[in-house]
Structures are given as structure tokens and as C-alpha cells.
Structure 1
């Protein structure tokens, strides 16, 4: 079956063709784990477990089920093989779902807004085990596993302590754009072929289609001769969808996830240090950092990003802190514990202040500091107001 998208493109047609041409000329852009259920080692406890969220009877899973479209694919023998694989490893699926908790509802919403099959929201299960910090040995990174060249072509920049491939909001929008754009440009709206190209590269898929046509064979995804990783790509995706659609039948217990985003977007109008923001507002720093994995040095600047993500239930308190006038007492500030390898210049840069100011604030006469030393960071550097 062919699925046609209806979203109006913001890219001009010529620009879209140029983009696809550049991407299709490269080697495969993304890496899918050979065993998507085999997630990286993590503690069984996640800080999201401690959030005091009130779950609604109609949760994110119900919304996802309503948008699943590829039910017929589950009868394919390859899909059944992967269903059996996942059923034999239910703990891995459960752990991946825990990592998906803060993102699932929002990604479901983005997929739904574009009129795409709900299965698209499960691609991070296959690509990264839903780990925003996942990196492959081939250089792919993030929830959607973008290679550097593909990321550059899609505007996912990496500079000044920021990697947009790790930014869940930015990378999700880019991934959905990419999937839709390839479907329209190459495959007459066929999302399944676009997903194959997402994994293997459009050049690989197009060559396989030309070979199939030359031999008189069908040229849809399920009949093509593609690399084994790509031939397993959609079976894995459909197997995960089948399990989520009826978890009890497959021996899987899904945690309840509210059908509303777990985070809010706060505009960045001045430099923000996440550690200091957490310290002054009482927000869990680990939680705040996990919501902003693209901020690789823990700071946000208007020159780099437009917004940071914060826990939805603490949005008002954080906004109030960022909008508060500068304190009149210059020596009120956050504490920083010097780590191995730190220098005054590095610490000052991370907090958006000068070395001279850091020296003066802490009564230092030189640049010598030692591991374990406690420095006070001027409060006004949390956001240069």
C-alpha cells in the first residue's frame, strides 16, 4: 500500500530536490541496531519514576494505537520472527520504554499532526533504543541516529557546545521532514520505501528498485533485495507496533504514560547554565540535563539555541526565576565544585562570566585551583539579565 502525505513543504521544490540529491549521493546515513531490544546497560531505576505525574485513563499508548496503520504487515513471516525475538526478551522492551517516557507523547503528537502512520513514532526504538545520547561506531548520533553529513544537510548543526542531533525536538522535526521529503521526491508518497532509504540511503534503495523493475519483479519494500539490516528494518518496526498494540497477548507490561508532553519549552534570551538553574529553582539537575541532551557543555546561549526544555510541572517557577531582576548583592551565587581537568577559564566560559570576575568573586589572586575546591559563581551569570 502507498501512503501519501499532505503536509505543505516549507522547502522550495528546487531546494528539496537539491537536498535529496546531496543525501542520496552519500553512503547509508543511519544505523539501526541489529538487536533493537538489546539496549545499552542502564540502571533499572530512572529519575522519571520519581515524577509525580497524574496518569489519565486515555494514555499515550491509546493514542498511538489509534494511529497505527500497518496491521496487515504483522502477518509477514519476517515480522513474526521479530515478534518472537522481542517476546523472548521482554525486559529489554520494558527498559527501552522507560527511556521513551519523557518523549513518547510529544513524538506521537508530531507524527499525528503530519498524518503519518503511528508506527513512525516507534522508529527510535529501532534506531537508538530510545536513547537520545546513543552513538554508533559509524558516527551516527541521537534518538534518530543522524550521521554528520545528513545532519548538516538537514540543518542539524554542531557548534558551541551544542549538537542538534542529540536535541530531541530538533532531530525529531528533521527526521520527519526527511522521511516525508524522500517519500514525495522519490517514492510517490510511499513511506515504507522512504524508511528503507532512511536506513540504507536513497541510492541503495533506488538501485534495488531499478533491478527489480528490470527483472519484472515487484518494486515495493517487501519484495526488494536490500542489505540485511535494511530488510530487517520494517519487520522490527512492525513487530514493536504489534506488541504495543496488544501487550498482554505478548507478555509485555507497558507503564502508563500521560497523553501530554512531559516538558515545556522555555525561551533562551540570555545565557543559561543548567546546573545553576537547577540549583536556584530546586529542579533535579539530572532531569534537566536529560531533557536537553543537545547542550553538550550544560549551557544554553541565544546564539546557539532558541529554547530549553524543562519539566512541565516546574515551568512557572523556572520562568519566574529567569525573569527575576538581578540581585543587588553581588556575592549571592551558586556553588561549583572543581573537577579534575577544570581551569578558571573553562569554568568562567561555561557560566558566561569573565575569568577576572570569577577571580574577584572568590578572592583569588591567580589562576591556580585544585580538584574539590568550591567556587562561588555570581548569581547574575545564571542568565545575563
Structure 2
């Protein structure tokens, strides 16, 4: 059973050779999904399953899409229509391995229902991304086994986010991180990066074979390539089901197929899936001026907690256009915030938010940190050739406008 990418993708966004060299180690840790630690297996509190928890934080993104142009309807129906592997695994060598995980997961239907409820804000959009790339619909369910669909999931090995991306891999894929921002926690950017990576590895190493790329996503291309060579030396074809891999990776694709099989026929397994509309769950609003999440929540008429849950990449309560390009807001709530960001606020036009008066003991670094801007930008905006010569009472502009 294989599925191949529909096209060869370009790898130039980080330099093909350098990027692939950086990504040979495992991209992710599969959220500790070894036996006994699976998020679906008998865990009375599935929200505490695979990784240490964090309180909702905040986010960022890339270009204004407005309301997402998803087809209306039921997200589960759309997902099932894109499943590509469900008729194949039952007759394949992996049948027993998949059936084992179907039995395991279906023994805890409430856990699956809880995780699918957590997927509600993201699933329709992720299905759209997977569909647009011509990938099997099953790929939209990778976050189930990686993070239990928790955008703030963190593993003890350092993997973070919905797709459990490791720091080094995130940097290679352009997911920057600092104390204000972590692109691995941003659902929009991390999803795009993870799908790019899955397709890129499939084309680079495996003639478009997505199953092998998923194995490499979990264990690293070096591990998978070595296992393929060993399988071929034994006279086997070297596809995923032939490989002798770490136990977590041996279970990786079977778990994915098992979850998809249950979602394909939830009644058969006693699972009740929450209603998830196929239409837009969120909209993306460009950040054109410095704005706090408290202010944005008030303008959009949503709770601060809800806005933080949608913007988990933002690690502080302030979005600045030099660090954050977009905010996500619930669908239907974008226009008031968009209008406010297009029109300078009274405090901004009077200079209250755009000017900082230097106090005794302050440094350019401390001022930049307090206002969530880069120190180099602050120096450039104010023409400071010697940033260490600030004087009390000196006024600094906090933007390039």
C-alpha cells in the first residue's frame, strides 16, 4: 500500500542540500506514543495524555486570507471522501498491525471523542490544506497521534506544537522562535511546514512514497534509509511494511490508519464524533500596528482566552507588526478588528503608544524588550549610532512610521 505525491516539490526555501542535511535526524518525537503512553489508550484524562501542558498563549501568521474559502458541509464527510488507504490496508501485510490499534483505540471511544472535540478549530482548515496538495486524507489526522490535537503540546525531548516539531527542524523549515514567538506552536505555519516536509522527504528519498516519508517524519530519514537497505538485502522491496524500525515507528502508520478506520465508520466502533462544520472556523487579520491581545479581543468581541487559544505561537500578550504578521480570530469576528487596525487609534495618533520616554537606568535592550520590538529596529528607527548613550527624558519612536 503506497501513495505517491502528485508532483515534485521545490526545495529552495532553505537550500535543498543544507536543509536535507539538517533534517536527517527525526523531525518529531511522536509525543511519547510508545506502548502504555498512547493518548487514546486507557487514560481517564485525555487532555493530559501525551505531553506537558501549558496554559493557552497566543499567535501569528502570514497574509490576509479573510474568511477561509472552505466548502460548506460536514468536515467528517469531506475527510472521508479524501481517505485513500482504507480499502488497501485490510488486504496488505499491515492488516494485523492496524487491527491491533483499531482494537486498542475503540476500547476507549470517549478518548477519541475528546480529542476530536479539541480538533474542532483546526480540522476543516487542515483538511483543506491536505486536499489541495493531493495527499491522502489520512494525513490530516497525523496531529491525533502526535499531540492529541493540542497546539501547545510539548514533549520532554523538545518537540512542540500540533505536529510535534523539534527545534532544529523548525528552524530549518523557517519556524523561528524566541521568547516572544514560537512558530512551531502557530497552527497555520507549522501545518504548512509539516506538510512541506512530508512531501519533500517523499520526493527526495522515497520516489514519492508517503508511508516511508511518515516513517522518516517520526524516526528520521537516516534510520529509515538504513532499514530499507537492510530489507532489500533480505530480498524484500523495502516498503514501509518490510522495515525493521524502532517500535514507535513500526506503530506510527498503523496507528494513523487505525484512527482513520474508526473515523470512517464511527458507529461501528461506538464512537460519537462532534459536529465540525466544513466552513471556516477562523479568519486571519494582518497586524498593522502594535496591539495587545486584550485590545484585539475587545475589538473582535471574543474572550481573551479564546483569542489566545487561536494564537498559540505568540508567547507574550502583545502582537507587533515587526514580529507578528497576523492574528487569528473566530470566523465572523474579523471585520471590527480589521477596521480598527486599518484606522490608527486615538492613542496611537496622539503618540501615546508610539513614543517611549527614556527613564533613568533604562537601556535600549530593556526598552525594546518592554515593547516587544527588536533592539536593532529600535536603534534604526531612532537613528541611534551609539545605543549605549541614552539619556533620561529622551523620546524614542516605537515604529518606523
Q: What aligned pairs does 1:299-314 form with structure 2 within 5 A after superposition?
A: 299-314=318-333
Q: What aligned pairs does 1:200-215 form with structure 2 within 5 A after superposition?
A: 200-215=219-234
Q: Secondary structure in 2 aligned to 1:155?
A: coil
Aligned partner of 1:85 in structure 2 is 104
Aligned counterpart for 1:129 among listed residues 135, 142, 148: 148
Distance 2:173 2:204 in 1: 15
Q: Secondary structure in 1 aligned to 2:226?
A: helix
Kindly state the Cα deviation for residue 198 of structure 1 after the two structures are TM-superposed: 0.2
Deviations 1:166-203 (A, max 9, x none): 00000000000000000001000000000000000000
Q: 1:186 to 1:347 in 2, by over 3 A?
A: closer
Kindly state the Cα deviation for residue 384 of structure 1 after the two structures are TM-superposed: 10
Q: 1:293 to 1:350 in 2, by over 3 A?
A: farther
Aligned partner of 1:295 in structure 2 is 314
Distance 2:298 2:352 in 1: 12
Kindly indicate whether residue 92 of structure 2 is the aligned counterpart of residue 68 of structure 1: no
Aligned counterpart for 1:275 among listed residues 294, 307, 311: 294
Distance 1:175 1:99 in 2: 19
Aligned partner of 1:349 in structure 2 is 370
Q: 1:346 to 1:70 in 2, by over 3 A?
A: farther
Q: 1:189 to 1:253 in 2, by over 3 A?
A: same
Aligned counterpart for 1:199 among listed residues 218, 221, 233: 218
Q: What aligned pairs does 1:1-385 form with structure 2 within 5 A after superposition?
A: 1-7=1-7, 9-12=9-12, 15-24=15-24, 26=25, 29-32=28-31, 33-34=33-34, 35-37=38-40, 38=43, 39-41=46-48, 58-71=73-86, 72-74=88-90, 76-327=95-346, 349=370
Aligned partner of 1:53 in structure 2 is none
Q: 1:209 to 1:286 in 2, by over 3 A?
A: same
Q: Contact (CA 8 Å) 1:165, 1:294: kept in 2 or not?
A: yes
Distance 2:346 2:109 in 1: 52
Kindly state the Cα deviation for residue 15 of structure 1 after the two structures are TM-superposed: 2.5
Q: 1:57 to 1:348 in 2, by over 3 A?
A: closer
Kindly state the Cα deviation for residue 28 of structure 1 after the two structures are TM-superposed: 6.0
Q: 1:227 to 1:253 in 2, by over 3 A?
A: same
Aligned partner of 1:378 in structure 2 is none
Q: 1:97 to 1:178 in 2, by over 3 A?
A: same
Q: Secondary structure in 2 aligned to 1:94?
A: helix
Q: 1:90 to 1:155 in 2, by over 3 A?
A: same
Normalising by the residue count of structure 1, what TM-score does the alignment of the two structures yield? Answer: 0.80
Q: 1:261 to 1:16 in 2, by over 3 A?
A: farther
Q: What runs of 5+ residues in structure 1 fail to find an aligned partner?
A: 47-55, 334-344, 353-380
Superposition RMSD in Å: 2.9
Q: Secondary structure in 2 aligned to 1:165?
A: helix
Q: Secondary structure in 1 aligned to 2:332?
A: helix
Kindly state the Cα deviation for residue 69 of structure 1 after the two structures are TM-superposed: 0.6
Larger RCO of the pair (alpha carbons < 8 Å, separation 6+): 2
Q: Secondary structure in 2 aligned to 1:159?
A: coil
Distance 1:346 1:87 in 2: 54
Q: Contact (CA 8 Å) 2:30, 2:145: kept in 1 or not?
A: no
Deviations 1:243-301 (A, max 9, x none): 11111111001111110220001011222211222134421111111110000112222
Distance 2:110 2:352 in 1: 47
Q: Greater shift after overlay, 194-203 or 155-164?
A: 155-164
